[in-house]
Amino acid sequence: MMDPQELDARLEAAIPAVRAAGRLALEHFLNRDRLAIEHKGQQDLVSIADRAVEDLLRRELNALFPEDAILGEEGGGEDAPRSWVLDPIDGTFNFLKGIPCWGVVAAYVVDGRTLIGITYDPVHDELFTARRGGGAFRNGTPIRVSGNTSVDTSCLALAYSFRQPKETYVGLVKQALDQGFEHRRMGSTAIQLCWVADGRCDGIATLLCSSWDVLAGLILVEEAGGRATDFLGAYGLLGKGGIIACTPALAPELEAVSGLVLPR
């Protein structure tokens, strides 16, 4: 395990790279009518912006940390003892439709544990950061989960991928409604995790995601005082699966909604 001072130094060094990637992404967002778009699958789009932003992040992080591996949604990579895990634009569909809910994401993983999480929302200039044992922050200000104890006044963020059977998502929504949750589906799992950490939503559930979608946000929720799935322990760096994260008092209800179990 790396010492806190080294992790703090890595976090501070990586932040300008993520901000630079965010500025590039925002430039493409404001000129999205010029972007070439490809289909990876049903409602699963990728543009030259995704690749350009990931390329920039890879160059910057490789220059800063040449000994670390890099795994990205677009450029791929392998499991390694020390890896930066990147999602250049989480919420690409929103991005291409002009919906201002997407972010640039980087997480640092050492020996199967996420130690750093960075998520940048360039449209609103909100930078969310967390270091294992060091707290969670938005633009340098500490943040906390909501502390809500009542389902009746809570808001649950949901996420869906067309790679999963639609029946599973319909079932998730039904369970949420049966438990009494209000809910939202905003199209960016990474940003919604930030909102849980910042107390804007009280929990999140998705039944299919990849490491680059969630690692940065899961550590953010934990460091903000919430509870979150151990994605790496359950699925590994290259696997896919479901996650939940929430303010602590709502954990039993969220487990019932999702069928997932939080670490004890």
| Side-chain-side CA neighbours of residue 118 (13 Å) | 30
* Residue range(s) occupied by CATH 3.30.540.10 in the chain: 4-142
Tens of pLDDT along the chain (264 residues) come to 689 999 999 999 999 999 999 999 999 999 888 876 665 554 445 678 889 999 999 999 999 999 999 999 989 999 999 999 999 999 998 998 999 999 999 999 999 999 999 999 999 999 999 999 999 999 999 999 999 999 999 999 999 988 889 999 999 999 999 999 999 999 999 999 999 999 999 999 999 999 999 999 999 999 999 999 999 999 999 999 999 999 999 999 999 999 999 998
Measure CA of the first residue to CA of the last residue in the chain; give whole Å. Answer: 22
d(CA 143, CA 245) in angstroms, rounded, equals 15
Residue type, position 141, single letter: T
| DSSP, residue by residue, 69-88 | EEEETTTB----SEEEEEEE
Q: Strand 44-47 vs strand 69-72: parallel, antiparallel, or unpaired?
A: unpaired
Which CATH superfamily groups domain 4-142? Answer: Fructose-1,6-Bisphosphatase, subunit A, domain 1 (3.30.540.10)
* Residue range(s) occupied by CATH 3.40.190.80 in the chain: 151-258
Q: Residue 44: what pLDDT? A: 47
d(CA 231, CA 2) in angstroms, rounded, equals 20
Predicted TM-score (pTM) of the model is 0.95
Closest by alpha carbon to 69, among 59, 60, 80, 56?
80
Q: Phi then psi for 36, rounded to 5 degrees?
A: -80, 130
Exposure of 5 by Cβ count < 10 A (0-12 exposed, 13-18 middle, 19+ buried)? exposed
Dihedral sign for Cα 161, 22, 36, 100, please. positive
Exposure of 195 by Cβ count < 10 A (0-12 exposed, 13-18 middle, 19+ buried)? buried
Domain 151-258 annotated CATH 2.60.40.1120: no
